[in-house]
Amino acid sequence: MSIALIILAAGKGTRMGSDLPKVLHRIAHAPMLWHAMRAGQALAPERTVVVTGHEADMVGASARDFDPETRVVLQTEQKGTAHAVAQAAPALDGFTGDAIVLYGDTPFISQDKLEEMARARSRHDVVVLGFNATDPGRYGRLVTEGDALLRIVEYKDATEDERSIALCNSGVVAADATLLMDLISEVGNSNAAGEYYLPDIVAIARARGLSAGVVPCDESETLGVNSRAELAQAEAAFQRCARLRLMEDGVALQAPETVWLAWDTVIGRDAEIEPNVVFGPCVTIESGARIRAFSHLEGCHVSRGAIVGPFARLRPGAELAEHSRVGNFVEIKNAHLGAGAKANHLTYIGDADIGERTNIGAGTVTCNYDGFFKHRTTIGKDAFIGSDTMLVAPVTVGDGAMTGSGSVVTKNVAPGDLAIGRARQENKPGMARALRDMLRAKKQKQTKG
Ligand code: UD1
Ligand code: MG
């Protein structure tokens, strides 16, 4: 069965108190919209349509960043959820199969649930994702009779009896795409809000003798975000789930509640993550790697057996080969550290390639930027970079070469050579003693006077 996703994202989200459209606020470093889009991808949709309205260009661009094939449509005026879905019709031209409607501000619908809904379509013409709310508040209520879903009533339009129903509408709906548009064409707006309600399609379908059913889900999946406080709650909920999932997959998290994950963090089995580690987007940690306390990682790849931190910073393009070692107060950006290579203390490595087993001494800096251009540093394997070496890029240090501590290396160093680029040391016998005597005498004279 072909699937089309319709994701509603036209709303303004006034309660966020923000210039940024609501669906672009981030949870675990990804816009909420991407979370919804990612869940939908489990169904391998043939088409994805995002309905935009408020700040449409920005929302459309973000949707296309996630999936360049996304069809973006515009709802110029927000007249209700049924009206929003109707705007997707031209983008579904020529499509046959099921349509599933998701909300851009409901980021936690699981892939499993969407698959369950797709399966439930073999039993019902219209399938609605429902949940038992601990506080049903202003959600739409699902009026059922046995297994059958009779209709959905919005809170504003509900009687006292209907408001006492705890089974609520998540907003997620699945139906044949052509049927969905056909049902929507019958939806009117004579209700308390004067809006075209998507949930009205249930009663319309029933009146035609079609069947509607509910797939139940946990309330946590339907968590929507309407305010900054709810965004923070959503972040916390995401982190809780993501940490649990990692531990279930065999990752060791010593103090899970202190580890911050991104929406796309990948960590292999038996990797160890110490307390207070922060993951930005695009990080992959292989099995058995160890990330020590207080490290910050983004856009990087750490291979098996590598050890990072404590207090390390891996920035985009950091690529650590097997058993390499990055210690405290070391920053690595757009650089490859070969297998078994080490940069243990107080170092900046940017735009560089470091060969296997090479040792980078404390305080080493690749001077990669001249204010206009970035330049690369290339160091071969088994090299030894003395402490406090400044490598002024572009520069190459050959296999097995060494640099003397405190050197400023501006010229290439051939394999096996030793480069020393520092002022020659001169010792003045007894001079320290003489200097001290002279200074002491001066000070005594001053205090007497
Ligand atoms: C909707 C449902 C309600 C359900 C609740 C779950 C309707 C009429 N009611 O109510 O039964 O319990 O969600 O959260 O559908 N949107 C548009 N264009 C519009 C209107 C809305 O794109 O013209 C988008 C919004 O941006 C949002 C989603 O649709 O992402 C839902 O709209 P919202 O106004 O939040 O509906 P609720 O009142 O929460
Ligand atoms: Mg809502």
Mean pLDDT taken over the chain: 97
| Nearest atom, ligand 1, residue 105 CA | 30
> In this model, does residue 32 exceed pLDDT 90?
yes
DSSP letter for each residue of 173-227: EEEEHHHHHHHHTT----STT-S--GGGHHHHHHHTT--EEEEE--GGGG----S
Q: Is 13 in the pocket of ligand 1 (CB under 6 A)?
A: no
| Residues 408, 421: Cα–Cα separation, whole Å | 5
Q: Which atom of ligand 1 lies nearest, measured to the CA of 103?
A: 30
Q: Is 351 in contact with 336 (CB distance < 8 Å)? A: no
| Residue 185 structure tokens | 């064409």
Q: Counting atoms of ligand 1 from 1, which one is nearest the CA of 78?
A: 23
Residue whose CA lies nearest to ligand 1 atom number 6:
170
- 449 pLDDT band (50/70/90 cuts)? confident
C-alpha–C-alpha distance, residues 359 and 326, integer Å: 11
Please list the active-site residues.
345
Cα–Cα distance list, 140 to 10, 325, 398, 404 (Å): 19, 55, 69, 73
Ligand 1: centre distance to CA 81 (Å): 6
- Distance between Cα 182 and ligand 2 center (Å): 24
pLDDT mean over 421-434: 97
Q: DSSP letters of 291-356?
A: E-TT-EE-S-EE-TT-EE-SSEEE-TTEEE-TT-EEEEEEEEEEEEE-TT-EEEEEEEEEEEEE-T
The secondary element (H helix, E strand) that includes residue 390 is strand 390-392
Query: How far is the C-alpha of 335 from the C-alpha of 374, rounded, in Å?
Result: 12
Whether ligand 1 lies within 6 angstroms of the CB of 200 is answered as no
Residue 281 CA to ligand 1 center (angstroms) comes to 29
237-266 pLDDT, tens digit per residue, is: 999 999 999 999 999 999 999 999 999 999
pLDDT of residue 270: 98
Q: For residue 294, what pLDDT band results from cuts at 50, 70 and 90?
A: very high
Ligand 1, closest atom to CA 198? 15
Q: Calculate the CA 62 to chain-centre distance.
A: 14
Q: In this structure, which residue's CA is closest to atom 28 in ligand 1?
A: 103
For residue 293, pLDDT over 80 is answered with yes
Of 247, 300, 291, 254, nearest to 269 by C-alpha is: 247
Identify the pLDDT of residue 127. Answer: 98
Q: Is 189 in the pocket of ligand 1 (CB under 6 A)?
A: no
Using CA atoms in the order 116, 117, 122, 125, what is the torsion angle rounded to 10 degrees? 170
In whole angstroms, what is the distance from residue 213 CA to residue 151 CA? 10
The per-residue pLDDT for 1 is: 83
pLDDT band at residue 12 using 50, 70 and 90 as cut-offs: confident
Q: What is the pLDDT of residues 137-161, one digit of tens each?
A: 999 999 999 889 999 999 999 999 9
Structural contact between residues 126 and 38, judged by C-beta atoms closer than 8 angstroms: no
**Nearest ligand, CA of residue 9?**
1
Rounded mean pLDDT, 85-100: 98
Percentage of the chain exceeding pLDDT 70: 100
- How far from each other are the two terminal CA atoms of the chain, in whole angstroms? 100
- Most ligand 1 atoms within 8 A of CB, residue of 6, 81, 156 to mutate: 81
> What pLDDT, in 10s, does the model give residues 340-391?
999 999 999 999 999 999 999 999 999 999 999 999 999 999 999 999 999 9
pLDDT number for residue 247: 98
Nearest ligand 1 atom to alpha carbon 104: 30
Q: Model's pTM, two decimal places?
A: 0.92
What mean pLDDT comes out for the span 406-417?
98
**Exposure string over 357-380, b if 16+ CB within 10 A, otherwise e:** bbbbbbbbbbbbeeeeeebbbbbb
pLDDT of 185 reads 98
DSSP-assigned letter for residue 91: G
pLDDT band (50, 70, 90) for residue 33: very high
Per residue in 312-336, pLDDT (tens digit) is 999 999 999 999 999 999 999 999 9
Pocket probe mutation, ligand 1, options 7, 15, 103, 195, max atoms within 8 Å of Cβ: 103
Q: Is the CB of 154 under 6 A from ligand 1?
A: yes
Distance from Cα 224 to the centre of ligand 2, integer Å: 7
Q: How far is CA 345 from CA 186, 301, 332, 362, 431, in A?
A: 69, 20, 12, 5, 34
Residue 391 host element (H or E): strand 390-392
Number of H helices, E strands in the chain: 9, 33
Report the SS3 class of residue 2.
coil
Q: What's residue 147's pLDDT?
A: 84
Closest residue CA from atom 14 of ligand 1: 170
Sequence letter at residue 210: L
Strands 141-145 and 148-153: antiparallel
Residue with tokens 């649990």: 244
Question: Residue 174 pLDDT more than 80?
Answer: yes
What is the Cα Rg of the chain in Å?
31
Ligand 1 contact via 153 beta carbon (within 6 Å): no
**pLDDT (tens digit per residue) in 211-223:** 999 999 999 999 9
413 pairs with which residues across the strands?
397
